[in-house]
Each structure stands twice: as structure tokens, then as C-alpha cells.
Chain A
Amino acid sequence: MLAHLASPRTGGLLALAAVIALLPLVLRNSYFYDVAVLVGLNAIVCIGLNLLIGYAGQISLGHAGFFGLGAYGSAILASRYGWPPLAALLATTFAVALLAFIVGRPILRLRGHYLAMATLGLGVIIFMVISTEDKFTGGPDGISVVPFRIGGFVLQGERIWYWVVGALLLVAVWLALNLIESPTGRALRALHSSEVGAEVVGINAAEHKLMVFVISAVFASVAGSLGAHYSGFVTPAKVAFLHSIELVTMVVFGGLASTFGAVVGAAVLTTLPQLLATFEDYEMMVFGAVMIGTMIFLPRGVVPSLARLFRSHRSADADNKANKA
């Protein structure tokens, strides 16, 4: 029973649920709720991105593109064409999944720096289309978005969104953990260590990489759509290269191949700029320094490094007890 609880699939999920349930005790005003909602949305993107980078070992420097397509797809369909937001979200998600499926196959044939360049290029192209086609997207000025409504119920206000995003975050974590523990997850980890090796034992590397690429694009797109409805406004900044970099940094900061690491990374690096808001001119410098510092001193990311420390402490304790006995 205890062992079952200690496994990340149940124990970790329960712990995360508890954090989400108890967090409102310290969230003093709607500003705090606002930051929490942003953390949740970024965390959903990062969980998907971590499946791709951390587990399948394929870097993407263009995921803000998928996030942006989700945001603008929902914004345009719901606000300009009056679609019901849920229908707009589903149609957008489907379109983004289809796009990822089509471009994923040739892109994922590339490796290392070439893959980084291709995903970066894809992201930049999406950014340029969005900031140029101002008839649909409002160009650099952005576009305002109607609130999310299902039937007669309107999702509005930070507090309601907090619970919606919190629930979706739990679903996202649950999906990711189940995927990782499935045969697919094992196949992904196998092709991470060696693609040729994985193919030799009968894993279709191309299919698996493509699948996880589509999944991560869908996570980003859904978070983008919801984020657009939540904030009521989207600008091309959300699609820019810099946002892609922020997402990758969150994943690596939290810890590659650690789903909870992705959540922690999103939480820390979404909150940090808020804390630095008073030193706005220093924000970029500090963010850069944090990125360099983490990579040098905690190359495995915060969560795996801490987990390791904790484990070695515990085993040291156990050794001490054994020695005394």
C-alpha cells in the first residue's frame, strides 16, 4: 500500500492534487490567482514538451508556434466568426494536431542541431504569418478574445479559471504518467538512448517520435486556446521565438524526463518574472543568468537533483541505523 502511494503515478498525483486544493489558502488576491492560472497553463505545455524532449530525446525550439496557433485559432473562430468556444477549441486542436502530423514526419527525420533549426524555423514561420496576416490576426496589435462559455455558463474571473486549469493540469499529468509507464513510454525511452538500437529490437522509431510530437503539439495548442480565452487578448509575443525558449527552459530547469519537474519548472520560471517586475530593466539579464546557472550547477534539473539528494540522505540514514544495530 505504502509502496503504491510512493510511486509517482498515485502518490505524486495525490500530492499535486493536494497542492492545488490547498494553494488557495495562501493566494491572497486575484493577482495571485492570475499568476497561478498562468503557471498551470505553462505547466500543461511543459508536460507535453517534456514528453518530447525528456523522454523521446527530440528537441523543439518552436513550441510557442503550436501554443500560438491554439490561441489564435480559438480567438479567430470564436471572436471573429462567432463559433461556440468549445467547438472552436476542438476544431483548432484538431487542425494543430493535423499540422504537427504532416510537418512532424520530415522534421523528425533530422537530428541534433538540424532538428533544433527545423523546429525553430517552423516556429518563426508561424510567428511571421500570424504577425503579418493582420486581416485575421490583428497583426502586431493582437486580437481580443470572447470569454469561454459552455451553454449558458460563462467562465470568467481568476478564481473559476484556477479550478478549471488545476483540474486540467491533473488530467495532463495523469495522461503523461500513464503514457510513460505504457509500452509506448518504454519504447520512447529506448529510442532516446539509441534510435538504431531501438529499431533493432523492433520499435518503429519514426511512428513513436511522430506520435509524441503530435501529443506535445496538442497539449500546447489546448493551453494556448484556454490562455487566449482566459486573458481575453492575444498578441504575437506569445508565438515568438523567445516564448519557445522560455518553455524549453522551464522543462530543462525542472528536470528532463520528470513530469513533476516540468510542473515545478513552469511554476518557478513563470513566477520569477512577476517577482522581478519591479526591476523590469534587469529581467532579461536575470532570466539569462538563471538559465546559465541552472545548467551549470543543476544540469539534471531541480526535481531530479533534489530527489537524488533526498534518496542519498535516506540511504545514508538507513546505513547508519544498520551500523548501530
Chain B
Amino acid sequence: MSPQFVQYLLTGLTVGAIYALVALGFSIIFNASHVINFAQGEFVMIGGMATVSLVAVGLPYLLAIPLAIATAALVGLALEKFAVEPARDASVVTLIIITIGASMFLRGLAMLVWDKNLHALKPITGDKPIAIAGATILPQSVWVLGVTLAIVVALSWFFGRTLLGKAMLATSHNRLAAQLVGINVRMVLFLSFGLSAALGAIAGILIAPITTTSYDVGVMLGLKGFAAAILGGLGSGIGAVIGGLVLGIVETMSAGYLSSAYKDAIAFVIILVVLFFLPSGLFGKRGGERV
């Protein structure tokens, strides 16, 4: 493997891990409610921007990061309570518009609360590149990959071993049946927004030292995360992670070897090609339609 290839691979994995975290957020909410939350990208923005301003007032990372994640989670819970819950039985199009409206609202609010400038965040531990097989990796990228891995492990434990996680999983399989065995499906929906907002915020905090952050970073990250979730198959956790990593690697490789001008378009070309041949994504459920 040439050093250049290794370099693209490492960069791609880092970006892909971020897409994976955003895609996991999409999947968790989709499973609980069959809603695609187009405001997912805004949680990423809130995580990064809140950390920037908390650090600016003098808080150490150890306090600023949990506070920023909690802020995003609260916004997520509020979004569910005040925008999604009142329209619970509405059509797919209606819910898509509500969450897009919410994303515009949050972006507009962020522009007022903060500003329109780009903000950099200091890396968590230094910025001296580490050499691997002729390529280099930033310590921050190691953080991105490590934290993503830890979150994937924690989530699989949560959904496989805890009562609440199993309740969420049960709700995703069959809402009515879950309700019948005594699961509070409304609470599941409520909490799923908090959980996926927290995941988005973590992604936003991890990536901010590498790419900087601003009030509108959520748009592209949200769309790419959605693309990753679709690529993996909506609602599949492992699909979201693999979809994110594949998207990140392919995007970086094609930007490096083919054309960097079309870097952002590549994700969408992949998505269209995949959907044309696999209309339910790589790991999505294939099902018939009831009349």
C-alpha cells in the first residue's frame, strides 16, 4: 500500500466515523418513530458551537464537553415534545417538513445566539501528527475513531442488555405489540430524540478541531449522515456504521484520486447508484406492501 493510499484511508475513516455517528442518530429516531429527523445535523452544530463558547468563558474540556452534549440532548427532547409529538400521526411528508422547519429554526437561532463566523476548537490532546506506515494521523483523529468505537460498543450493550434499550428495539419492530406488553412507546420516542441529539453533539465536538465549526455546518453533515444511513439501510445500526465508514472512505479516495471539486457530490452519486440497484440500502429490510 502506498503511503498516499494509507493517508486517504485514515482521513476517510475519520470523516466516516463522524458520518457514522450522525447516521446512528438518524437510525435511532427512525426506529422509534419512522420519522427522518432532518434536524439531526443541527445537533452536530450545537455540540461544536456550545463547546466553543463554553471553552471561551473559561471552562475546561472536562466540564464544557458534557455540558454541550447535555444542551444538545435538551434541544432534542424539546424538539420531540413541541414539534414532533403534536403531529405524531401525520404523514411522512408532513413530518419531513416539520423537522426541516425545526432545522431552519435552530440554525436561525444559532446565528443569533452565536454569529456567522468560523470557530476553531483546540484539539483534545495536542496537534502533533503521529506517523503510521508512511502516512500521518492527527491525535484528534485517534480520538474520533476511539470514541466512535466506544459509542458503538456502548450502544450495542444498551440495545442488547438493558431494559430500556430492549424496549426501544421492541418498539422499532412492532409499535403496537410493544405497547401491548406495557412499553411506554411515547417515552421511547421522547428519549430517542435525546439520545440521537447527544450522539450528534459528540460528532460535532469531535470534528470541530479538525474542520472548524460554524452555525451552518449542520446542513452538509446532516445530509451526509442521512446518505450514510440510507446507504446502510434505514433503521439498521450496523448498517449506519458501515454506511458512514464506506461513505467517508470512498469520498476521500475519490477526492484524492479523481476530483476534489466534486468531493461533496460523490456521497450523493454513490447513494443514487446504490438505490437504483438496492432500493432498501445495504442492510435494510426488504418488505412487500400491504393493500
A291 touches B104 (CB 8 A): yes
Count of chain A to chain B residue pairs whose CB atoms are closer than 8 Å in the complex:
136
Question: Are A129 and B103 within 8 A (Cβ)?
Answer: no
Q: Give min CB distance, A271 to chain B, whole Å.
A: 18
A296 to B105, CA, bound (A): 15
Chain A interface, >50% SS class: helix
- Number of residues in B with C-beta < 8 Å to the partner? 47
* B265/A125 in contact, CB under 8 A: yes
Q: Considering the chains assembled together, what is the distance between the CA atoms of A110 and B281 in angstroms?
A: 11
Residues from chain A with Cβ under 8 Å of B234 in the complex: 113-114
What 0/1 readout, one digit per residue, does chain A (51-93) give for beta carbons within 8 Å of chain B? Answer: 0010000010100000000000000000000000000000000
Judge if A287 is at the interface, Cβ distance under 8 Å.
yes
- A36 contacts partner chain B, Cβ-Cβ < 8 Å: no
Q: Which residues of A contact B188 (CB under 8 A)?
A: none
B261 within 8 A of A: yes
Is A195 in contact with chain B by the CB < 8 A criterion? Answer: yes
Once the chains bind, are B275 and A117 in contact (CB under 8 Å)?
A: yes
Complex CA–CA separation, A137 to B261 (angstroms): 15
| B62 interface hit (Cβ, 8 Å) | no
Q: Does B67 contact A (CB under 8 A)?
A: no
**Extra contacts besides A114-B279, A196-B289, A245-B100 (18): CB < 8 Å:** A59-B92, A106-B275, A107-B272, A107-B275, A113-B92, A113-B230, A114-B234, A117-B227, A121-B227, A121-B269, A195-B289, A196-B291, A256-B93, A281-B112, A284-B105, A288-B101, A288-B102, A299-B94
A: residues with CB less than 8 A from B are: 53, 59, 61, 106-107, 109-114, 116-118, 120-122, 124-125, 128-129, 132, 194-197, 200, 241, 245, 248-249, 252, 256, 281-292, 295-296, 299
19 contacts between A and B (CB under 8 A): A53-B93, A113-B230, A114-B281, A117-B271, A120-B223, A124-B223, A128-B264, A129-B265, A194-B289, A281-B111, A284-B108, A285-B105, A288-B105, A288-B107, A289-B105, A291-B98, A295-B90, A296-B87, A299-B94
